[in-house]
Chains A and B, each alone.
Chain A
Amino acid sequence: MNGWSHHLIIAPILIPLVAAAILVVIDERQRVTKAMVSLVSMLLLLTVAFILFRIESGPNGYEGVYLLGNWSAPFGIVLVLDGLSALMLLLTASVAIAALVYSLARWHAMGAHFHSMFQLLLMGVNGAFLTGDLFNLFVFFEVMLAASYGLLLHGSGQLRVKAGMHYIAVNLAAALLFLIGVSLIYGTAGTLNMADLAARIPDMEADRRMLMEAGAGVLGIAFLIKAGMWPLCFWLPTAYSAASAPVAGVFAILSKLGIYVILRLTMLLFDSGPSAGFGSTVLLYGGMATLIFGTIGILASQALGRLAGFSVLVSSGTLLMVLGINDGAVSSGALLYLVSSTLTISAFFMLIELVERSQDAGANVLAVTMEAYGDADEDEPEEGDGVTMPGTMAILGTCFAMCGILLSGLPPLSGFIAKFAMLSAMMGTGAIGVPPTAPVWTLIILVILSGVAALISMTRVGIRTFWTSLEGVVPRVLVIEIVPVMFLLALTLFLTVQANSAMQYMDTTIRTLSNPSLYIDAVRNATVVPGVDDGTGEGY
């Protein structure tokens, strides 16, 4: 990676930042202009993410270290692009563009500064995926969180304010834990650069290392709150189901951000050496508890929004358990699962609102009361203008069925392939060839059971929504609303067809990750650009 393409690494942070700055000053009434700026930024972001992804999936990946301010690591701060972060960037851009297009139908007009906050959220998420420095991770995390507070409250209403208040309180406490963890690590290791930290761990004295591990544990809790590990997850279904549909759609990526950081740090810091395997037991059993909780939640939830919220927990739980096993072949299947489940859940959140539109009037008993006392859903936005989708019920039904198949992991879609890759690796028929131990058997059973629960729940809701709706009210769905959902589902279809190359990419990524020295050397050997000020003042 050289020349102009090297500077592309910073683009996923700069593009949304610039767009957000422009959007803040544009008057709120000029909605079309705002939407255009936002859309252009998203298209640019998607293009850049795609180019970076292509570069990383090429034969000579792993050269993407970008020295901000041209100071060599660990003194300056760095951005690091590798297979994992490139994948996450592309996933974020795909989910975000779908959510943005969806919001253009009506949600973006429901409150002030929707587009600016949306762009800032993306900036924070992209920054967190790219940074190679723990404190910058905190800063980007806070940028992302601050934007997400605003987005969660977007549309207002009592339910959102209540859920938002819990969400903010939990995340403020998590941010404080994050700070404690970071400062403990700095106090013991003397560095915040992830690569430098990984290189220093083997040489640390035992008592210092113990404190460092305590710091890493506290840090981990902050991310586990974000990822929604039981018992830190009770805020999640409420907050996600209270958020407006496009916001919930893009929030699907936030839980995966927690997973990403845990994956990155465990693979980098605790892969080998004296601290090897630190925290893996917690991840394994915590993941199991999360999965059980999520499965029960899925079975118990009547409202579609909560069902989707608990699906997030199931997905997180599965991924955390796999991180706890920490086995290469299983992890590459899990990466595919991460991508597939994020796309599915995001599409599902947006689909829910469309499906529930037919049920608004379908609450027959309430209909009379609503006529007498006015519409109960005052916070629902008025219908937007645009082309209505023909054959609405058929399309909604198909999308819903696809979501159900993907969530429960039935063939033929990518949900099945991802689960199959994970489970076959766990059973030892895959690359490892070791018979599974008792926890792994429990895990296999839990994953299968969670799929069954999702199937039962989705079938129940599907029958109630599409078959037994007595009135036959066809909701008015705009093309611009259903197309993003179809786009995300088409991506999972693409993932299914291209499963072989996708799995190869995941395999390569995991193999690179499980060799931390590659990362460490790449960061340490990154050279400053000659000819400009290199910190000694000689360049001038």
Chain B
Amino acid sequence: MEIILSIAIGVMTSCGVWLILRPRTYQVIIGLSLLSYAVNLFIFSVGGVKTNVPPILSEGGGHDVLADPVPQALVLTAIVIGFATTALFLVVLLASRGMTGTDHVDGRGEKR
């Protein structure tokens, strides 16, 4: 379980980093999205990976039958904020595309 999660985070991060270094805005935004998925998974995993355990302390149960609720709350906030900012970035990207006629991040390159 942990190893699959770590590989997933690693693969997504490396793809994301490669993509945000690309010159086209579309690649950058996909890269940022991938990175934010990886980060969300990462936040989720710092609370320890557990299956079939509720994030609520039950009567008489120890902490081993409790999934840490804080990372879950954090990841929820992070998802919402990441989603909003990515949407905003998309708008700016479209504005830039409309103004310069190219999807190069610097507004340069051949017009298409």
A residues sitting closer than 8 Å to B (CB atoms) are: 135, 138-139, 142, 145-146, 149-150, 153, 156, 158, 161-162, 164-166, 168-169, 172-173, 175-176, 179-180, 182-184, 186-187, 192
Contacts and interface: CB of A to CB of B under 8 A. Distances in A.
A173 B85 CA distance: 11
B111 to A, nearest CB: 14
B85 A165 contact: no
A317 to B, nearest CB: 26
B96 A161 contact: yes
A165 B96 contact: yes
Given A169-B20, A186-B70, A149 B88 contact: yes
A172 B105 CA distance: 15
Top 8 nearest A-B pairs by Cβ distance? A187-B46, A183-B43, A183-B46, A158-B99, A142-B81, A161-B96, A176-B39, A179-B39
Contact of B32 (A135, A146, A173): A173
Given A169-B32, A176-B39, 9 more contacts: A162-B96, A162-B106, A164-B92, A168-B85, A172-B85, A176-B35, A176-B82, A179-B42, A183-B42
**Majority DSSP secondary structure for residues of A touching B:** helix
A145, A166, A168, A172, most chain B CB atoms within 10 A:
A172
A172 B89 contact: yes
A286 B105 CA distance: 27
Nearest to A149: B88
Contact of A153 (B47, B84, B92, B93): B92
A135 B32 CA distance: 21
Contacts of B106: 162
Contacts of B77: 135, 138-139
A176 B46 CA distance: 15
B88 A186 contact: no
Contact of B92 (A142, A149, A184): A149
A271 B91 CA distance: 44
A146 B78 contact: no
Contact of A165 (B25, B43, B47, B86): B25
A186 B43 CA distance: 9
B28 interface: yes
Contacts of A164: 92
Counting contact residues on chain B (CB < 8 A from A), the size range is 20 to 34
A139 B79 CA distance: 12
Given A139-B77, A158-B100, A182-B74, A165 B42 contact: no
A121 B105 CA distance: 26
B41 to A, nearest CB: 10
Contact of B107 (A142, A149, A156, A158): A158
A162 B97 CA distance: 10
Contacts of B70: 186, 192
A180 B105 CA distance: 26
A139 B71 contact: no
Contacts of B95: 153, 156, 161
B107 to A, nearest CB: 5
Contacts of A145: 85
A61 B97 CA distance: 53
B93 A165 contact: yes
A431 B105 CA distance: 51
A180 B78 CA distance: 11
Contacts of B39: 176, 179-180, 183
Nearest to A158: B99
A186 B86 contact: no
Contacts of A175: 81-82, 85
Contacts of A146: 84-85, 88
Nearest to B47: A187
Contacts of A192: 70
30 contacts: A138-B78, A139-B77, A142-B81, A149-B85, A153-B92, A153-B95, A161-B99, A162-B96, A162-B100, A162-B107, A165-B96, A168-B92, A169-B20, A169-B28, A169-B89, A169-B105, A172-B36, A175-B81, A175-B85, A176-B32, A176-B36, A176-B39, A179-B39, A179-B43, A183-B42, A183-B43, A186-B71, A186-B74, A187-B46, A192-B70
Given A139-B77, A176-B36, A179-B78, A168 B42 contact: no
Contacts of A142: 81, 85
Contacts of A165: 25, 89, 92-93, 96, 105
